[in-house]
């Protein structure tokens, strides 16, 4: 039979073990236990009382083990929940370190289904030009003060009647609207309609850009309409069931089907020093994963200076140099001179290719086209005149899907090119050319003022300064006519300049059209331009 004192020690030892595991006040209980005589039964008790070992920094004596160990166990029991909390706090930090690309943002485009260009645009624009000439002859509209920018809906201003008069003339405010000096809801709606006709966000709020547009004189608006109409003289564009229009000053692309805009996209067009030309042609092919052959002007003006500063520029941008016998090592070329323009520089296809993943091929003498771009952030800007002359299209794959309607898909007759098929065709990284079964007419136009069949006039900024008449050559050459500045007001579009709009346009048409063509031709070699791999040379 086991002596009673050994049974008591065993019970107390077992109890201490449970308390230690639960993190209870083991230290006080351990001090209450008298030290029993040394023996084989009492030796195992201390290890059972504290399951967590003492740190090896200080090896305590056997008689003091019961005191430090409970303290360590309490610290350990406190530190464990903290570690658990820190481990729970790590998952929320993971999203902060995520490097996923931000969603693409595109500038807002109009949802109006009326196309910018139809077979009636020329005549409709001439009619509206006559109406604006009458506005100018009658004195136009008053200039609005800048303090209208701070006006909020419902507030009053002495300039509101002038604003109402202007918007009534232009058809944005109904003629039977009650007079008021308050910015009331009907007037807010009229402001939004005015903004929509001028390519501005139709918020109905009088911002700086809206005030600037309202303060453009009626004579200037008439000149925009007359000049745009003159640029349409002689057009032979084949309007049909399906066609594409790029209005350069608007910087957008319209896919027109059955007389209505099926899709409208933001675009990036040529900068003023690298103007996008006006063209009329047909879209014949779609190129997946295109390469880009760098125009000689870009080689001379951009790449050679870059190579002088950074010899690794070509390799970093995946541009290879091709000579008559094959690829040329960039280190073998003397970049101090201009001999590099005698070689062909070609950028490999890929995500960083200047043409992006898609090119829309359209034969024309300027060698311009529409394409994708890796610089998609530009599509979110309100002003988008940054390219070398070609047209970069936002959401270009959607436009490609519309163009490929009716063309057999990748799996043969009876299949189509949907979003999945287009992405799959691009994903393999191989160059692929798809010929449209029926070419789609496309035109690039320069309309700073145009009218739609409903009689509304639309205006855009004259970014290339094509509407401004050139100075008369005789005074500029001889200086014989002193009041040359006074002669120009006579030539400015006062009413007399409007009535003969058609004759004047006919006279000005060759000069306007050819001036635009010559201007663009001079800058066009520096565009995204001529690619020897495309069918262009054989055309």
Q: For residue range 433-467, what is the model confidence (pLDDT) as tens digits?
A: 999 999 999 999 999 999 999 999 999 999 999 99
CA 445 to chain centre: 21
pLDDT of 384 > 70? The answer is: yes
Alpha carbon distance 267, 368 (integer Å): 14
Taking the CA atoms of residue 175, residue 180, residue 185 and residue 187 in that order, the dihedral angle to the nearest 10 degrees is: 50
Listed as own residue / partner, the contacts of 213-218 with beta carbons closer than 8 Å and 24 or more positions apart are 213/459, 214/141, 214/144, 214/163, 214/166, 215/143, 215/144, 216/459, 217/136, 217/140, 218/132, 218/135, 218/136, 218/140, 218/141
Matching residue, tokens 């001090």: 31
CB under 8 A, 24+ apart: contacts of 51-57: 51/17, 51/20, 51/21, 52/20, 52/76
The pLDDT, as a whole number, for residue 56 is 47
Q: What is the mean pLDDT of residues 256-264?
A: 96
> Is residue 537 over pLDDT 70?
no
**Res 297: pLDDT:** 82
Q: What is the pLDDT of residues 354-370, one digit of tens each?
A: 999 999 999 999 999 99
Is a pLDDT exceeding 60 seen at residue 54?
Answer: no
pLDDT surpasses 80 at 14: no
**Mean per-residue pLDDT over the chain, rounded:** 77
Would you say the pTM of this structure is higher than 0.85?
A: no
Domain formed by 141-216, architecture: Orthogonal Bundle (1.10)
pLDDT of residue 515: 40
**Catalytic amino acids?**
371, 390
Task: Select from 78, 74, 67 the least CA-distant residue to 28.
Answer: 67
pLDDT of residue 39 exceeding 70, the answer is no
Q: What is the band of 69 on the pLDDT scale with cuts at 50, 70, 90? A: very low
Q: What is the pLDDT of residues 97-113, one digit of tens each?
A: 555 556 788 898 999 99
Express each pLDDT in 209-248 by its tens digit: 999 999 999 999 999 999 999 999 999 999 999 999 999 9
Amino acid 511: pLDDT: 39
- Flag the least confident range among 194-208, 332-346, 353-367: 332-346
d(CA 75, CA 7): 31
Determine the pLDDT at residue 103. Answer: 74
For residue 169, pLDDT over 70 is answered with: yes
- The rounded distance, in Å, linking the Cα atoms of 107 and 268 is 11
Q: Using the predicted structure, report yes or no on whether residue 67 has a pLDDT greater than 60.
A: no
Q: Above 80 in pLDDT, residue 95? A: no
119 is written with which tokens? 């077979």
| pLDDT confidence band for 468 (50 / 70 / 90) | confident
pLDDT band at 31 (very low <50, low <70, confident <90, very high): very low
Highest mean pLDDT among 56-70, 197-211, 469-483: 197-211
Pick from 530, 268, 282: nearest CA to 395: 268
Do 52 and 72 touch, CB atoms closer than 8 A? yes
Measure the CA angle with vertex 379, ends 376 and 381; round to 5°: 130
Cβ–Cβ < 8 Å for 393, 267: yes
Please report the pLDDT score of residue 257 as a whole number.
97
pLDDT score of 82:
45
**Tens of pLDDT, residues 471-528:** 555 444 433 333 334 344 434 444 444 343 444 433 334 334 334 333 433 333 334 4
pLDDT at 349: 86
What's residue 93's pLDDT?
Answer: 57
If pLDDT is split at 50, 70 and 90, which confidence band does 280 have?
very high
pLDDT digits (tens, 9 = 90+) for 305-335: 999 999 999 999 899 999 888 899 998 888 9
- Distance, in Å, from the CA atom of 383 to the CA atom of 193, rounded to the nearest integer, reads 20
What's the whole-number mean pLDDT along residues 122-151?
95
CA-to-CA separations, 105 to 101, 315, 381, 487, 526, in angstroms, rounded: 12, 31, 9, 49, 28
Residue 125 has pLDDT above 70, yes or no: yes
Which pLDDT value is given to residue 104?
82
43-53 b/e (C-beta count within 10 Å ≥ 16 → b): eebbeebbeee
Q: What pLDDT shows up at residue 158?
A: 95
Map out the domains of the chain as residue ranges: 141-216, 240-290+351-464, 292-348
Determine the CATH number of domain 240-290+351-464.
2.40.440.10
User: Which of residues 266 and 293 earns the better pLDDT score?
Assistant: 266
Bigger pLDDT: 142 vs 6: 142
The end-to-end CA distance of the chain, in Å, is 115
Q: Which residues pair with 347 in a beta bridge?
A: 292, 319
């Amino acid at each position: 039979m086991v002596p009673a004192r050994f049974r008591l020690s065993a019970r107390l030892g077992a109890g201490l073990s449970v308390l230690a595991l639960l993190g209870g006040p083991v230290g006080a209980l351990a001090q209450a236990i008298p030290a029993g005589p040394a023996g084989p039964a009492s030796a195992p008790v201390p290890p059972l009382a504290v399951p967590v070992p003492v740190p090896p920094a200080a090896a305590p004596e056997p008689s003091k083990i019961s005191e430090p160990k409970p303290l360590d166990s309490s610290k350990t029991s406190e530190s464990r929940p903290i570690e658990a909390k820190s481990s729970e706090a790590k998952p929320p930090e993971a999203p902060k370190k995520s490097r996923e690309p931000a969603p693409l943002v595109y500038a807002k485009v109009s949802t109006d289904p009326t196309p910018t260009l139809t077979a009636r645009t020329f005549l409709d624009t001439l009619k509206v030009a006559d109406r604006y000439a009458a506005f100018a002859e009658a004195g136009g509209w008053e200039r609005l003060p800048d303090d209208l920018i701070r006006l909020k809906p419902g507030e009053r201003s002495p300039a509101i009647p002038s604003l109402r008069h202007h918007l009534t003339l232009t058809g944005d405010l109904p003629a039977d609207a009650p007079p008021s000096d308050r910015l009331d809801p009907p007037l807010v709606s009229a402001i939004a309609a005015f903004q929509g006709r001028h390519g501005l966000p139709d918020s109905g709020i009088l911002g700086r850009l809206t005030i600037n547009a309202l303060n453009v004189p009626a004579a200037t608006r008439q000149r925009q309409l007359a000049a745009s109409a003159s640029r349409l003289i002689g057009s032979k564009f084949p309007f049909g069931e399906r066609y594409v229009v790029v209005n350069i000053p608007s910087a957008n692309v319209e896919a027109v089907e059955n007389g209505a805009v099926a899709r409208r996209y933001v675009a990036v067009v040529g900068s003023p020093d690298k103007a996008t030309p006006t063209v009329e042609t047909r879209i014949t092919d779609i190129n997946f994963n295109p390469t880009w052959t760098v125009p000689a002007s870009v080689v001379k003006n951009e790449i050679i200076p870059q190579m002088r500063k950074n010899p690794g520029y070509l390799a970093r941008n995946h541009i290879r140099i091709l000579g008559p016998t094959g690829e040329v090592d960039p280190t073998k070329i003397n970049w101090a001179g201009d001999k590099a323009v005698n070689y062909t520089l070609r950028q490999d296809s890929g995500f960083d290719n200047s043409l992006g993943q898609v090119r829309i091929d359209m034969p024309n003498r300027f060698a311009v086209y529409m394409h994708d771009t890796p610089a998609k952030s530009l599509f979110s800007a309100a002003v988008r005149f940054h390219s070398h002359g070609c047209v970069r299209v936002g959401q270009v794959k959607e436009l490609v899907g519309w163009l490929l309607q009716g063309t057999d898909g990748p799996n043969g007759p009876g299949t189509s090119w949907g979003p999945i098929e287009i992405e799959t065709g691009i994903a393999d990284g191989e160059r692929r050319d798809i010929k449209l079964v029926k070419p789609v007419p496309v035109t690039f136009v320069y309309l700073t003022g145009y009218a739609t069949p409903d009689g509304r006039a639309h205006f855009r900024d004259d970014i290339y300064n094509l509407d401004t008449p050139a100075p008369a050559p005789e005074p500029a050459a001889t200086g014989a006519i002193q009041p040359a500045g006074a002669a120009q007001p006579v030539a400015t579009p006062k009413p007399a300049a409007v009535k003969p709009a058609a004759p004047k346009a006919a006279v000005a048409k060759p000069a306007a059209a050819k001036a635009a063509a010559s201007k663009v031709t001079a800058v066009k070699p520096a565009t995204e331009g001529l690619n020897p791999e495309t069918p262009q040379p054989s055309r």
